[in-house]
A and B are shown apart, each in its own frame.
Chain A
Amino acid sequence: MRSLTLALRALRREWRSGELAVLWLSLSIAVAALSGVGFLVDRIGRAVQLQASEVLAADLRVESDAPIAADEQSRAQQLGLTTARLSMTLSAIFNGDANQLANVRAVSAGYPLRGQLTVADRPFAAGTITRAIPAPGEVWPDSRVAAALGAGLGSELSVGSRSLRVTNILISRPDQSSTFVEFASALLINDADLASTRLIQPGSRIRYVLLLSGNSAQLDAFRRWHQSQEGRHERVEDVADASPQIGDASKRAARFLALASLVAVLLCAVAIAVSARSYVRRHLDAVALMKTLGASRRLVLAVNLWQLLLLAAVASVLGAAAGWLTQLWLVRVLQGLLRADLPPAGAWPALVGFIIALAVLAGFALPSLLQLTRVPALRVLRRDAGPPALGFLAAGAPVLLAIAGVVYGALGEVRLSLWFLLGLAAAVLALGVAGAALVRAAARVRGSAGVAWRYGIANLARRRTESITQIVAFGLGIMLLLALAILRDDLVTDWRASLPADVPNYFFVNIPSDLRSDFEHELQAQGARLTRMLPMIRGRLLAINDRPLSGLHFPGMRGRGFADREQNLTWAEELGDDNRIVEGHWWSAADQGKPLVSLAVEYQESMGLKLGDRLRFDVGGETYDVTVASFRKVKWDSFRPNFFVMFPPGLLDASAGTYMTSAYLEPTSGAMAQLVHRFPGVSIFNVGDLLAQIRAVVDKAVTAVQTVFLFTLLAGLTLLLAAVQASREERLYETAILRVLGARRSMILSSVLAEFALLGAVAGLLAASGASLGGAWLAHALDLKYRFNAGLWIVGVLGAVLVVGVAGWISTRSVVRVAPRSVLY
Chain B
Amino acid sequence: MTRDIVLEARNLSKEVSSPEGPLTIVRNVSFTVTQGESIALVGPSGAGKSTLLALLAGLDLPTAGEVVLAGQALGALNEDGRARLRAERVGFVFQSFHLLPSLTAVENVMLPLELAGRDDARQAAEGMLERVGLAARARHYPRQLSGGEQQRVALARASVGHPTVLFADEPTGNLDTATGERIAQLLFELNRGSDTTLVLVTHEAALAARCGRVLSMDAGALTRDVGTAAAHSHA
Q: Which residues of A contact B (CB under 8 A)?
A: 2, 6, 9, 13-14, 17, 19, 285-286, 289-299, 376-378, 380-382, 822, 825
Contacts and interface: CB of A to CB of B under 8 A. Distances in A.
B111 A290 contact: yes
Interface stretch (B82-90, B128-136, B219-227): B82-90
A453 to B, nearest CB: 31
Given A289-B100, A293-B86, A381 B115 contact: no
29 contacts: A2-B117, A6-B115, A9-B114, A13-B103, A13-B104, A14-B102, A17-B101, A17-B103, A285-B100, A290-B111, A292-B57, A292-B92, A293-B86, A293-B87, A294-B83, A294-B88, A294-B115, A294-B116, A295-B115, A296-B80, A296-B84, A297-B83, A376-B60, A377-B83, A377-B86, A378-B54, A381-B169, A822-B143, A825-B147
Nearest to A5: B114
A606 B51 CA distance: 75
B100 A299 contact: no
Nearest to B158: A293
* Max count, chain B CB within 10 A of own CB: residue among A14, A294, A377, A382: A294
Contacts of A19: 101-102
A381 B147 CA distance: 18
Given A17-B101, A380-B59, A822-B143, 20 more contacts: A6-B114, A13-B103, A14-B102, A17-B103, A289-B98, A292-B57, A293-B157, A294-B116, A295-B87, A295-B115, A298-B80, A377-B59, A377-B83, A378-B54, A378-B60, A380-B92, A381-B50, A381-B94, A382-B50, A825-B147
Given A13-B103, A294-B84, A294-B86, A380 B115 contact: no
Contacts of B92: 292-293, 380
Nearest to A292: B92
Interface string B68-111: 00000000000110011111101010100010111110010001
* Max count, chain B CB within 10 A of own CB: residue among A9, A299, A378, A381: A381
A600 B98 CA distance: 72
Interface of B: 50, 53-54, 57-60, 79-80, 83-88, 90, 92, 94, 98, 100-104, 107, 111-112, 114-117, 141, 143, 147, 157, 169
A380 B92 CA distance: 10
A121 B86 CA distance: 93
Contact of B83 (A14, A285, A291): A291
Contacts of B94: 380-381
A581 to B, nearest CB: 64
Where chain A touches its partner, the secondary structure class is helix
A293 B101 contact: no
Contacts of A286: 100, 102
A293 B60 contact: no
Contacts of A9: 114
Task: List the 8 shortest-distance A-B pairs measured between CB atoms, nearest first.
Answer: A294-B87, A296-B80, A17-B102, A294-B86, A293-B112, A19-B102, A378-B59, A377-B59
Contacts of B115: 6, 290, 293-295, 299
A380 B90 CA distance: 15
A268 B104 CA distance: 33
A365 B165 CA distance: 37
B112 A380 contact: no
Nearest to B90: A294
Contacts of A14: 102
B125 to A, nearest CB: 13
Contacts of B84: 294, 296
Contact of A380 (B98, B102, B103): B98
Contact of B59 (A13, A17, A298, A376): A376
Nearest to A9: B114
A19 B100 CA distance: 11
